[in-house]
Structure 1
Amino acid sequence: MTTDNGFLSDLRALGREHAATLGATALELDRDPSRATALLSGELPWRQLIGMPAEYNPDPLRVRGRPVYMDRCVEQVVVMEELARVDAAAVLALPGPSMSGFVIADIADQPQRDRYYQLLADRPTWTFFGMTEPAHGSDPAGMRTALSPDGAGGGLLLNGTKRFVGNGARAGIGVVFARRHAGPLGVVAVLLQSGTAGFTGVPLDTLGLRGLQLSELRMRDVPVAEEDLLGRHRSATRGGMWSAVRTFNRYRPVVASFALGVAQGAHDYAAEHRRRLSAGERHQLSDLADRLEGTRAMVLAAAHAADRDPGDGTLASAAKIRATRLAEESTLLALRLFGPGARWEHPLLDKWARDARAFEFMEGTSNVQRLTLTQGYLRGRLTDGRPAA
C-alpha cells in the first residue's frame, strides 16, 4: 500500500492540511517549550500522527478509505516533511512513542508492550530514548550508565546520566540503555517510568528545536525489576544494542525528512516574500528547488530501505547527510536574500535557521554517517538498499 505513489501523494496532501494548524503556535512554542501541552492539543490530530499500533489506535488516519497507522518509515517521512515545513520542533514535541517505540516493537514482551502503549493510549504521554551520555555520546563501549545488583533487595539498581534526550523532562515513560555486563553484548534496554524513585529529568537550554525540550536524565539508585528488562526473553545478540542500531537506522530517514521540511519551508518563504530577485538570486532559488526534489527522492528511497531491512543503515545515513546539509544551506540562503536584519524582521526564518543546525547532532553526526555509508559500500550495498549480486 505504501509503495503506491498515488497513495503517498494523497497522504502528503493530508499532512499538508494538518501542517497549516502549526503556523499559529511555532514562535510561541519556541519562546516557551513548557507550553507544549497547551499549544499542541488543539486542532492537530496528534494521536493519529504518532505511530500507535492498531490495537491501541481505534481512530487512525484514513487515506482512500484505508487506515494509516503511521508505523512505517515511508508513511512517516512523507507526513513529517510536510509538518516540518511549518515547525519541526512542534512535531518532535508531540506526545507518543517516538524512538523508544521502535525498541518496544522489536524486543518487548506482551506485558511490557501493554504497559507502554496503554499509558500512551490513556492520556497524552511523552516518551524518552536514553542513549547519549555526557562524556561518551552514544558509544556503547564507553557507556557509564550501569545496572548493578541491589544487595539488600535482591533486584537491580540503575545509576548514570543521559544527556540530549528529547522530551526527557516531560516524559512519563521510556527506554534507558545501560551496561549490565562487560563486552559488546552487555548493554541492555530498561523500560522505565519517570515517577520511579531516584529518576530526575532536567530540561536543557538550547538555541534550536527548543520545543523538543532536550533534557538530561539523572538516575541514582533507581530500582529495576526483571520485568523491566526489555528483551529478557531473547538471546543477547537480539537484545539492547541490536534494537538500538535498528532504531537508529529506522529513525534517520525521519530525521532527514524533518531537515528536508525545514529546507523546503525556508525556500518557500523566500520565494513568496522576496518579490524582487536578481537573475543570480532566481538561479540560486531554482537550483535549490532542484536539490530539494532530488533529496526528497533519496529520503523516500531510504525510508523504503529501512522498512525492508532495519538492519541496514546505508541509505538512511546518505539521506541524513544530504538533508542536514541542505537544511543549513537553504536557511542561510533565505536569510541572505532578505539582507541585514533578516533575523529580526523575519522571526520564522531565524527560528528555522536555528532549528536546521540541530539535525546534524540527531542520531549521529555526518562523520558517523559517512562511516556507516562506507561500510555499506564495502559490503556491496546498492543504492536501493539491496545487496549486490
Structure 2
Amino acid sequence: MTGARVGSALTDEQAAIRDLVREFAVEEVRPIAREADAEASFPEDVWDGLAELGLTGLTVPEAYGGFDADETTYAVVNEELAYGTLAVATALSVHCLATSCIAAFGTEDQQERWLPEMVDGRPVGTFCLSEPHAGSNPAAMSTTAEYDPDADEYVLNGEKQWITNGDRGGVAIVFAKVDADDPGSITQFLVPMDTPGFAVGPKEEKLGLRASDTTSVSFDDCRIPGENRLTEEGRGLSAAFRILTGGRIGIAAQAVGLAQAAFDEAKSYAFEREQFDRPIGEIQAIRHKFAEMATDISASRLLVREACRQAEAGEDNRMMASKAKYTASETAMSVTNEAVQIHGGYGYVSEFDVERFYRDAKITEIYEGTTEIQKKIIARGVLGDE
C-alpha cells in the first residue's frame, strides 16, 4: 500500500488496529483474492485468520469475548479488508450484522448461547431481510412467522434473497411478519440454519464479489422456539434500520478501501508503463485522473469518519451514513473505472487486479440500500420531511 491515508485523526489504538489489519490484508488476503474470485470460492483459511485476530468478534461486547469496537474502528477494519478483497470484507460485515443484532436485541441467554461461539468464527452469521419482491421496500415482505401457542413456537414460511454467507452460515437473523396482512407486524428472529424446514438455495453466479457466496434461503414450516424471537412483535423493521445504519458505514468504508486499492494499482502501473518514450504517469491527462481520484477518495473517507464521529457522540447519524455510502460507492465506481482506463487493454484482462476491482465496485451501489435509497434518505433529512 502506497501513500499516506488522509482522514480525521485516529487514536493510537485505532491506528494500531488499522496497521494490523492492513498487514493481514496485504500479506494474507490479497495473494489469494484472484484465485478465490476465479473459482467463486470463499477462502476459509482467511476466515480462520480473521478469527485468530479477533475480528469475527468485532462488534461483540467484551463480556462475551468480543472486541466491542467503536464505529471508527469498525470502519477502519472494513476499509483495510476491502483493500485486500471486497469479498472477505463483505462476509465479515454481514457476520457482524448478525452479532450486532444478537448483542443489541437478544436476551442474556441468547447472547451467552451464541456470541462466544460467533466470536470464534463459527457459526458464521447471516442477515435475512431482502426477498425476491421486497428489496428496497422490506415492509412488502411476505415471509411469515405464525405463532403456535400450544407449542410456544413460531412457524416460518417464505423465502429470502441475496443472502451473504448463505452457503457458509450457521445462524440467521430472520425478519418475518407475525400477521401476514400487517406490514407493521415484522419481527426479528434468531434461527439456527440446521433447523428442519430451513433450506439454502444454490449460489448465485454474480458479476463481481464472486468469492463471497450469495444464496436464497427458504422456510417451509420451519419451527423455532418462542424464545428465539429477538424483538417484540412488530419491532423488527425498526431494529433492522437501526442496525443497517451502522452497516452502511461499513459498506462505505469498504468502498473507500476498494477505491484505494484501485488507485494504488493504477499509480504503480502508470510509472511502469511507457508510451511516447516516457512513463504514462508523466502525461498531464493521466496526472489529472490521479488528482481527481485522490480527491474523491479523501472526501469519501472523511464522510465515513464523520458518520462514525456522530454515532460515537450519540448523534443521529442516519443522513451522514447515507451521504457516506452514496459518495463512497460512487467513488469506488469512478476510481475503478479510471484504473481500468489507465491500464488500457491490460485493464480488461484478469491478469491485472483492476478488472476485478471494477466488477466488485458495482455492488457497493446496490447492497445495504441502493444509491437511490441513500438519496431518498438524504433528501428527507435536508428538506426536513421528518
Normalised-by-shorter TM-score class = 0.7 to 0.9
**Pair 1:262 & 2:255 matched:** no
One-letter code of the match for 2:197?
A: G
Deviations 1:170-190 (Å, cap 9, x if unpaired)? 100020000012445310001
Q: Mean Cα displacement is larger for which, 353-362 or 47-56?
A: 47-56
Q: Mean Cα displacement is larger for which, 254-263 or 38-47?
A: 38-47
Q: TM-score, normalised by structure 1?
A: 0.86
Q: Tell me the SS of whatever aligns to 2:174.
A: strand
**Residues 1:101 and 1:311: Cα distance change in structure 2 (over 3 Å):** farther
CA contact (8 A) 2:173 2:189 kept: yes
Q: Tell me the SS of whatever aligns to 1:347.
A: coil
Dislocated runs of 4+, deviation >6 Å: none
CA contact (8 A) 2:51 2:119 kept: no
Deviations 1:94-145 (Å, cap 9, x if unpaired)? 4983212222222111111122213324553211100000012152331100
Residue aligning to 1:10: 16
CA contact (8 A) 1:131 1:138 kept: no
Residue aligning to 1:23: 30
Residue aligning to 1:166: 164
Equivalent of 2:379, from 361, 371, 374? 374
Residue aligning to 2:241: 245
**Residues 1:33 and 1:46: Cα distance change in structure 2 (over 3 Å):** farther
One-letter code of the match for 1:213?
A: D
Q: Tell me the SS of whatever aligns to 1:137.
A: coil
Which structure 1 segments of 5+ residues have no match?
Answer: 61-68, 382-389
CA contact (8 A) 1:157 1:223 kept: yes
Residue aligning to 2:103: 105
Q: Tell me the SS of whatever aligns to 1:340.
A: helix
Q: CA RMSD in A?
A: 2.5
Q: TM-score, normalised by structure 2?
A: 0.87
**Which whole-Å CA distance do the structure 1 matches of 2:311 and 2:285 have between them?**
39
**Which whole-Å CA distance do the structure 2 matches of 1:261 and 1:44 have between them?**
21
**Residues 1:350 and 1:46: Cα distance change in structure 2 (over 3 Å):** farther
One-letter code of the match for 1:41?
A: D
**Which whole-Å CA distance do the structure 1 matches of 2:313 and 2:213 have between them?**
32
One-letter code of the match for 1:109?
A: T
Report the alpha carbon displacement of residue 263 of structure 1 after superposing the two structures with TM: 0.6
Percent identical across equivalent pairs?
A: 27
Equivalent of 2:45, from 38, 50, 53? 38
Report the alpha carbon displacement of residue 377 of structure 1 after superposing the two structures with TM: 1.5
CA contact (8 A) 2:350 2:356 kept: no
Q: Mean Cα displacement is larger for which, 313-322 or 38-47?
A: 38-47
CA contact (8 A) 1:250 1:307 kept: no
**Residues 1:96 and 1:333: Cα distance change in structure 2 (over 3 Å):** closer
**Residues 1:55 and 1:70: Cα distance change in structure 2 (over 3 Å):** closer
Alignment of 1:59-74 (within 5 A): 69=67, 71-74=69-72
One-letter code of the match for 1:47?
A: G
Q: Tell me the SS of whatever aligns to 2:95.
A: coil
**Residues 1:111 and 1:12: Cα distance change in structure 2 (over 3 Å):** same
Deviations 1:287-321 (Å, cap 9, x if unpaired)? 21122111111111012223444864100000011
One-letter code of the match for 2:33?
A: A
**Which whole-Å CA distance do the structure 1 matches of 2:358 and 2:94 have between them?**
26
Q: Tell me the SS of whatever aligns to 2:85.
A: helix
Alignment of 1:175-254 (within 5 A): 175-181=173-179, 182-202=181-201, 203-232=203-232, 239-254=235-250
One-letter code of the match for 1:261?
A: G
How many matched pairs? 365
Equivalent of 2:343, from 338, 347, 369? 338
Q: Tell me the SS of whatever aligns to 1:176.
A: strand
**Which whole-Å CA distance do the structure 2 matches of 1:370 and 1:95 have between them?**
22
**Which whole-Å CA distance do the structure 2 matches of 1:296 and 1:24 have between them?**
25
Report the alpha carbon displacement of residue 369 of structure 1 after superposing the two structures with TM: 0.5
Alignment of 1:150-165 (within 5 A): 150=148, 153=151, 155-165=153-163
